[in-house]
Structure 1
Amino acid sequence: MKNITIGMVGVGRIGRMHISNMLAVAEVLKERDINVDLVLADAMPGFAEQVGADLGVKAAESVDKLIEDGVDALFIATSTAGHVDVLRKGIEAKLPMFCEKPIASDVPESLDIIREIEAAGATVQVGHQRRFDLGYQEAKRRLEAGELGWLHSLKAVSGDAFPPPVSYCATSGGLFRDMSLHDFDIIRWLTSQDIVEVFAKGSNNGDPEIGAVGDIDTGAAMLTLADGTLATAIATRYNGAGHDVRLDVMGSKDSAIVGLDEKAAFASAEEGITFPSGESHPTFAERFADAYKNECIAFVELILGERENPCTPLDAVAAAIVADAAQLSLATGQPVKIPTVRDILDGSAEPVEVRALVPSA
């Protein structure tokens, strides 16, 4: 039996979701002779102990005590502002880590921590759960097997059934950073192509307060991939039919559509067509419930040295740079060229300049 103790850092809403998933995964991994124990910690004194008592999981009084007592890895699900501090503690302790996205509050801070991660030779898996969704994986398999031919276009959709509080929109960094980031990552992953240019537009036809805090409620980004393939990413906070996440992968021979099932959040306008007939997912948590668990299994396999890192910090920051470029394009009304993370780290390119979220009058 292989024994692993994972320190789960951050026990708020997202942290508790990850804890529940890891507990479920631990039961599955027992069939593979892998025993996973969890220990919780949180920056708020007493909070981890309270959550641990509710879930029947051990807790430490602080992150420092968690590491001091001995764990084999860290799973970081704190607020974004706390990620870098815990990453540095994990680097110093030479622990493999999982970090919820983003790894830092902005791209410049992310580049700094990547330099520290690389200098230390640390292992950090970043949480982009769509990579573990079976639909996306099958589409990638078909593409790489040549079943789709060459790609002529990709069409990504991300739609929330209802908007978050305006206070959240005010601090989210903008729609492209908050929602389309996931589409930018999965397009890069599925095609194995960098996104080299973006042109973005946005609108506000819902709550005017979203516009008042500097955000948009609907956005569209036209993307150009390194090989010239075109992609679009459309995001909205007002998809009343339900939570809608899809990707059309369109090739010269065939196509594959991720998210096309009985729970898809749309209705046909054609006579006699009842598909899809199921109830749509209310939020991302239900849509990607299995993907989140698969992500946890991948992290355990990474700890054990049984697989390569499925989502590196460079991968995650590459998507964040595309999101910054989309926000810049939105503000300027111009297409924006996108440098690679490696070129920025090597000093041969500059990060995308971040400006206001909405176009000037």
Structure 2
Amino acid sequence: MGLTIGVIGLGRIGGFHADTLAALPTVEDLVVTDAHPAAIDATTARLSTARAVSDADTLLSAGVDAVVIASATPTHAALIDKAVAAGVPTLCEKPIALSVKDSAEVVHRVADSGVPVHIGYNRRFDPAMAAARASVAAGDLGFITTARSTTLDPAPPPRDYIAASGGIFRDCAVHDFDTLRWLLDDEVVEVYAAGGNQGDPHFAEVGDVDSASVLLTFASGTIGVVSVTRYNGRGYDCRLEVHGSTDSVVAGWDDGTPARNLQPGCGFPGGTPHAFFMDRFAAAYRAELTAFCDTVAGDGSPALCTARDALEVAVIAEAATRSATAHRPVRTDEVRAHHVTAQRQ
């Protein structure tokens, strides 16, 4: 018998996950729900294996083997708690919660539950990025001097999304923070961030920026460089560069890279630029959901992001937010001492 997987939240990414899960050979049935009935109807009309229920509580009591949470960010923490209380293995889209304090409280509550909880950081399953990590782990590059992660969105999300997102460091750059931490198997000790606004004034009105860069100092001495923007008109650009003392590697340079190469006589990249993250990372999402289903079936995947991993990413994002606001470096232990240690006492 195949798995029965629940999906809570059927918006852009939730609907995409439902389609991906329905196509996996290990998945037999889907149980789906959303706060908006139209999203439920669209999913069940599209997928013959999807059965609709009215709410998350009903879904978690419907005999599901696992659940994927893809609802709005403010609902994540409560839904993780409900899934764990029901004993249902969980994959939740990032982040755990909007604040470090709330994220730490969730991690503390689920730590001894025995229920697997993973957070959706799909770049761990991108083949080239995984190969870069393997090269670092094998020592093929010598000691790592610099690791660069880039996320350039082609256009901003809707204004309502921006206002509720928690800001570019918590919403967008967290993917880069997780990628670098996972790539290097190392912890960030200090963060320096700067951001700016040249586009829609709504970003500034809600205390956000539309473009930012972040310098991360890792415990080993490696420097991480993160660049993010909401305005990259040529397409969706996500790349990774790893520079070592003996070799360097890149991931994300393919014919769909949205860049015009001005080097005379060089035609690379020559393909249609990637338009959005779902076409750029379709294979990675499929691999991530496959790994999660394998974990539910008893074959664990070390690449899946744990809740505690995601908490460390939240600490980095909070440090970046503070740094950009105060125009100073911020050590991660400053954030951790204030938000993580205090909630355990």
Sort the TM-score into its range (normalised by shorter chain): over 0.9
- Please list, as runs of the form range in 1=range in 2, the aligned pairs for 1:127-276 lying within 5 A after superposition: 127-276=120-269
Structure 2 regions of 5+ residues with no counterpart? none
Corresponding residue of 1:8: 7
C-alpha distance in 2, partners of 1:102/1:78?
11
**Structure 1 residues 321-352: Cα deviation after superposition (integer angstroms, max 9, x where no partner):** 111110100000110000399877873899xx
3-state secondary structure, aligned to 1:115: helix
Q: 1:233 to 1:12 in 2, by over 3 A?
A: same
Contact 2:319 2:335 in 1 (8 A): no
3-state secondary structure, aligned to 1:74: strand
Corresponding residue of 2:30: 38
Corresponding residue of 1:19: 18
Counterpart selection for 1:323 from 310, 317, 322: 317
1:65 aligns with 2:64: no
Shift of 1:229: 0.7
Counterpart selection for 1:53 from 45, 54, 74: 45
3-state secondary structure, aligned to 1:69: coil
**Structure 1 residues 48-96: Cα deviation after superposition (integer angstroms, max 9, x where no partner):** 3553133222122322222323111111111112222221221121111
C-alpha distance in 1, partners of 2:39/2:130?
37
C-alpha distance in 1, partners of 2:237/2:4?
36
Contact 1:158 1:180 in 2 (8 A): yes
C-alpha distance in 1, partners of 2:94/2:40?
21
Contact 2:181 2:188 in 1 (8 A): yes
Q: 1:152 to 1:239 in 2, by over 3 A?
A: same
C-alpha distance in 1, partners of 2:336/2:197?
35
**Structure 1 residues 200-237: Cα deviation after superposition (integer angstroms, max 9, x where no partner):** 11122223332233221211111100111111111111
Identity of aligned residues (%): 39
Q: 1:154 to 1:9 in 2, by over 3 A?
A: same
Corresponding residue of 2:327: 333
3-state secondary structure, aligned to 2:171: helix
Q: 1:345 to 1:166 in 2, by over 3 A?
A: closer
Worse-matched range after superposition: 252-261 or 60-69:
60-69
Contact 2:119 2:307 in 1 (8 A): yes
C-alpha distance in 1, partners of 2:37/2:239?
41
Worse-matched range after superposition: 270-279 or 211-220:
211-220
Contact 2:21 2:27 in 1 (8 A): no
C-alpha distance in 1, partners of 2:297/2:339?
29
C-alpha distance in 2, partners of 1:179/1:234?
10
Shift of 1:47: 5.0
**Structure 1 residues 253-278: Cα deviation after superposition (integer angstroms, max 9, x where no partner):** 11111111111111222211111111
Q: 1:9 to 1:214 in 2, by over 3 A?
A: same
Contact 1:203 1:219 in 2 (8 A): yes
Shift of 1:104: 1.9
Contact 1:99 1:125 in 2 (8 A): yes
Structure 1 regions of 5+ residues with no counterpart? 351-361
C-alpha distance in 1, partners of 2:230/2:39?
32
RMSD after superposition? 2.2
Counterpart selection for 2:341 from 325, 341, 347: 347
Shift of 1:99: 0.7
1:305 aligns with 2:298: yes
Structure 2 residue identity aligned to 1:194: E
3-state secondary structure, aligned to 2:140: coil
Q: 1:6 to 1:340 in 2, by over 3 A?
A: farther
Worse-matched range after superposition: 290-299 or 113-122:
113-122
**Structure 1 residues 136-195: Cα deviation after superposition (integer angstroms, max 9, x where no partner):** 001011111221111011122111112223343232222222211110000000100011
Structure 1 residue identity aligned to 2:83: G
Shift of 1:289: 0.8
C-alpha distance in 1, partners of 2:38/2:60?
17
Q: 1:142 to 1:64 in 2, by over 3 A?
A: same
1:97 aligns with 2:96: no
Q: 1:198 to 1:35 in 2, by over 3 A?
A: closer
3-state secondary structure, aligned to 2:179: helix
